[in-house]
């Protein structure tokens, strides 16, 4: 289902410290894995696909998913991205 995006690891183009990027991306992958019973590869592929669809870096997608959706922080830097991700989450099979 997710073969179209086949990069093996998530990457980010922001200048954040590597540990920050890795932690956020791992948290976002864990969220998708827990909610939708996905493999790590499937969760990573979804995050990459959403990054492309939303024209956002994977780090931004991860931040929006973890902080904006999971934790409900209204102070996320990208509220429009949060709304787009909410729509995409509703489209995933449960």
DSSP category for residue 64: I
Can you tell me the mean pLDDT for 64-86? Answer: 86
pLDDT at 2 over 80: no
Query: What does the pLDDT look like over 15-37, one tens digit per residue?
Result: 655 555 688 899 999 999 999 99
pLDDT at 16: 57
Query: Distance (Å, rounded) from C-alpha 7 to C-alpha 30?
Result: 18
Q: Of the candidates 18, 19, 14, which has an alpha carbon nearest to the alpha carbon of residue 61?
A: 14
Averaged over 73-82, what is the pLDDT? Answer: 80
pLDDT greater at residue 8 or residue 40: 40
The pTM of this model reads 0.75
Q: Residue 7 pLDDT more than 70?
A: no
Backbone angles phi, psi at 82, to 5 degrees: -60, -45
Assess whether pLDDT exceeds 60 at residue 74: yes
Helices 79-91, 40-53: axis angle to 10 degrees equals 130
């Amino acid at each position: 289902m997710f073969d179209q995006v086949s990069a093996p690891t998530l990457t980010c183009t922001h200048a954040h410290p590597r540990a920050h990027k890795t932690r956020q991306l791992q948290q976002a992958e864990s969220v998708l894995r827990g909610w939708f019973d996905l493999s790590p590869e499937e969760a990573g592929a979804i995050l990459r696909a959403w990054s492309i669809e939303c024209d956002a870096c994977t780090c931004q997608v991860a931040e929006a998913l973890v902080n904006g959706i999971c934790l409900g922080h209204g102070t996320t830097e990208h509220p429009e991205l949060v709304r787009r991700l909410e729509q995409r989450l509703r489209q995933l099979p449960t």
